[in-house]
Amino acid sequence: MNLITETLRAQLLVNGRQSLDNDDFDPPPVVKLFMPDADATWLLTEIDPHDHDHAFGLCDLGQGFPELGYVSLAELQSVRGRFGLPVERDLHF
> What is the reported pLDDT for 57?
98
Tally of domains in the chain: 1
Digit-coded pLDDT (tens) for 30-80? 999 999 999 999 999 999 999 999 999 999 999 999 999 999 999 999 999
> What is the reported pLDDT for 2?
84
> What is the reported pLDDT for 88?
97
Do the domain assignments include residue 40?
Answer: yes
Do the domain assignments include residue 13?
Answer: yes
Do the domain assignments include residue 63?
Answer: yes
**Do 8 and 31 contact (CB within 8 A), yes or no?**
yes
Distance CA 20, CA 33 (A): 24
Do the domain assignments include residue 1?
Answer: no
Do the domain assignments include residue 55?
Answer: yes
Do the domain assignments include residue 58?
Answer: yes
Do the domain assignments include residue 81?
Answer: yes
> What is the reported pLDDT for 26?
96
DSSP assignments along 8-54, one per residue: HHHHHHHHHHHHHH-TT--PPPSEEEE-TTSS-EEEEEEE-TT-TTE
Note the pTM of the prediction, 2 decimals.
0.93
Do the domain assignments include residue 41?
Answer: yes
Which residue range forms the structural domain that includes residue 77? 6-89
> What is the reported pLDDT for 90?
97
